[in-house]
Amino acid sequence: MKTTPRQRLVERSRIRPTSAEQRLARAVANHGEPTLEFAELLPYDAYVHASTLHSLQQTLSRDPGEMSFLMVSQIMELYFGLTCFELREARERLRTDDVRGALAPLRRAGLHLEGLNAAWRGLRWMTPADFNKFRNLLGEGSGFQSAMYRHLEFLLGLKSESLVRPFRRQPQVHAELVEALRAPSLWDEVTALLARLGRDIPAELLDRDFAAEVEPCPEVTSAWVEIYADAGPDNHLRLLGEALTEIADRFDDWRHQHLKAVRRTMGAKVGTGGSAGAAWLRRSMDREVFPELWAARTEM
């Protein structure tokens, strides 16, 4: 059951800030043992909402394997959201030309994507026979319908207006996706930053409809070739390029592992969401994240 804003405010009020001195006094009073008595809600649960999280696994079948499928999907949703959070923070930093400040959230995002990829291991046991025990109960439910994954794609510059359509009957979700679609992606902000720093970037690339897909730009590729030619320790743009490359690489890993998981559990069957399944995933992988960064490596 979802908590209301008032309930969340009450729960937050039960988290009592403490100082180092107070923690030391409590440890002395407890003789080094953990505190076992609390007058109100456990502070850990008030902060993490663990009891709420563990109430969200509502399977559709009695098959025990479905719990893995459901929970791994939920874990991935959390990682999608966490990665988006970091990429938005990096984007804000870049808008103010704070390249150095953008590196920390980008590096964290790369690590979160590693965690996202590791989640696939929890489903390696699943064979077609295992999946078929509950697959039909999913109806038309599909990971294709993940709004947070679309946010992640849009932030990475993989824009597609048609992919917002499934969310029209969820007004708030739809509005947020439309806003994300129309906003400059992280890569758009990187390109704008290069222009402000004197790189030769075409004006039409900077002033355009950000909801539309854009072809790789040779001038952006050339700018990155020049940036990488300076191997000095103070070249923060080069560090930015490497942090972005890591994110693109880890995101490609996730897409590849998704394809492998689909092939392992359902072969070439059509997807539950109406797509061609593995064939559709292969085509979607052709859309490259940060393409000029990869093209620059050919010209270096």
Contact 216, 186 (CB under 8 A): no
- Is 272 labelled a binding residue? yes
Contact 63, 134 (CB under 8 A): yes
Number of helices and strands in the chain (H, E): 15, 0
Number of Cβ atoms within 10 Å of the Cβ of 174: 16
Which two structure tokens, joined as six digits, stand for 71? 């929970």
Count the residues in the chain: 300
Single out the residue of 95, 90, 99 nearest to residue 206, CA to CA.
95
Single out the residue of 193, 212, 32 nearest to residue 103, CA to CA.
193
Q: Which residue has the tokens 């804000």?
A: 92
Contact 134, 154 (CB under 8 A): no
Single out the residue of 161, 210, 220, 222 nearest to residue 186, CA to CA.
210
- Is 91 labelled a binding residue? no
Radius of gyration of the CA atoms of the chain, in A:
23
> Cα-Cα-Cα-Cα dihedral of 121, 110, 187, 295, to 10°?
-80
Nearest-5° Cα angle at 77, 74 to 79:
115
Contact 171, 197 (CB under 8 A): no
Cα end-to-end distance, the chain, whole Å: 55
Which two structure tokens, joined as six digits, stand for 255? 């897409």
From the annotation, which residues make up the binding site for substrate?
Answer: 135, 272
From the annotation, which residues make up the binding site for heme?
Answer: 258
From the annotation, which residues make up the binding site?
Answer: 135, 258, 272
